[in-house]
Amino acid sequence: MDPKQLPFVHPLNVVSKLANQSRDMHSVPRRNVRMIALGCIAALCVSALGAGAIMKSDVVNLKSGASIDGTIVKRTDRRIWIDVGPDVLSFSVDDVASVDSQTASANVELKVESIYTTAVGLLELPPREQAKILGPAVIKVSTPSGLGSGVILSRDGYAITNAHVVQGETNLRATVWFAQADGTLKRTDLDDVELVAVNNHIDLALIRLKHPEGKDFQFAPVQDAEKLENGQSVFAIGSPLGLERTLTQGVISTTQRSFDGLTYIQTDTPINPGNSGGPLFNTQGEIIGITNMGIRGGEALGFAIPARYVKDFVRNREAFAYDRNNPNSGHNYQKPPARTSDGAPPELKDGTGNVSPAKSTALAPSKS
């Protein structure tokens, strides 16, 4: 028979028929019927491909054991859509074991800015999938007095962490995880860590690692234009209480929470001591913030420094350059003196900004 004359049965019709039959099949569990349906969808896809369709470059491997070849047209942290030629099929990520995609990376455009990188065309993936990709970019930063987390920003080994993690320390150690050919990660301690710049005002520090084999580091992209929404899914990777490579997830509670003249991302993602300096990711795998604090006694009250502060700090790192011979180098912002009385200063009340005669006399130096 000519392949063009082959009858086409819509996969969703197959699922519907199986669901209707399951009402009368009391001895067949619903899970088995669901697996049979997914298997039928895969079989239909294979038949369509065998009937003359062009082989695509993406493969979706289902937990049922079936594999579907096609082109992934859309992917979120909840569902995946794949074009198999005659139709576009949609699957829940809970039914997917793994995805082999060549078109996904081909559509990503990287842009190097200073010593960090932004990306365009990244796919939304669930945190468990993003962790496999971004895991090697997250590090643990240790000092004689404590530890925190960090994230690598460039292939040259530049990484960001919190200033309070390295405050007053010069003996730094970084623990990194190098990806191996078999898919595992090799834990390695690096003692050659350079402290490049520190900004205590926004609680950020830039460090640089040296690869023991002189190779490039795997890094994570920073979000370019800020796109944050309340309720947006996010996740953090770090070493809370020294528990390495811990992934926690939640949502953005508030995109703009102000403290002491700075704004932070508020999230219900669990943030604990040891998470400080680690990345807060969106579902596209972009760094949207650097976690730096949580409120003790509060529940689900974590905060992260927005990526825009990180980018500004990195661009102007020379102004905050660390000098081993002068630990106080760089700009330090001191808190202004507290007001001694309520209300506006007298010189501002008349709208002129001039100091009143009485005030001027009080401020004048005494004559001997």
Q: Is the Cβ–Cβ distance between 226 and 218 less than 8 Å?
A: no
Instruction: Point out the catalytic residue in the list 142, 164, 201, 239.
Output: 164
Instruction: Point out the catalytic residue in the list 149, 154, 253, 276.
Output: 276
Cα(97)–Cα(100) distance, integer angstroms: 10
Does the active-site annotation cover 203? yes
The residue type found at 65 is: G
DSSP letter at 220? -
Alpha helices in 61-160 (DSSP H): 103-106, 127-134
Q: Is the Cβ–Cβ distance between 92 and 14 less than 8 Å?
A: no
Does the active-site annotation cover 192? no
Q: In the chain, what are the helix, strand and coil shares in percent, each to the nearest 5?
A: 25, 35, 40
Report how far apart the first and last C-alpha atoms of the chain are (Å, whole number).
116
Residue found under tokens 């079989």: 43
Cα(26)–Cα(4) distance, integer angstroms: 39
Alpha helices in the chain (DSSP H): 11-22, 30-50, 103-106, 127-134, 163-166, 307-315, 346-349, 357-363
Pairing of strands 193-199, 185-190: unpaired
Q: Of the candidates 304, 309, 173, 151, which has an alpha carbon nearest to the alpha carbon of residue 238? A: 151
Cα(218)–Cα(194) distance, integer angstroms: 18
Does the active-site annotation cover 149? no
How many Cβ atoms sit within 10 Å of the Cβ of residue 168?
A: 9
Exposure on the CB side of residue 20, measured as CA atoms within 13 A: 6
How many Cβ atoms sit within 10 Å of the Cβ of residue 265?
A: 26
Instruction: Point out the catalytic residue in the list 203, 233, 239, 253.
Output: 203
Q: Of the candidates 217, 228, 267, 272, which has an alpha carbon nearest to the alpha carbon of residue 246? A: 272
- The strand ranges marked E within 153-222 are 158-161, 173-179, 185-190, 193-199, 204-209
Cα(283)–Cα(76) distance, integer angstroms: 8
Residues with a catalytic annotation lie at 164, 203, 276
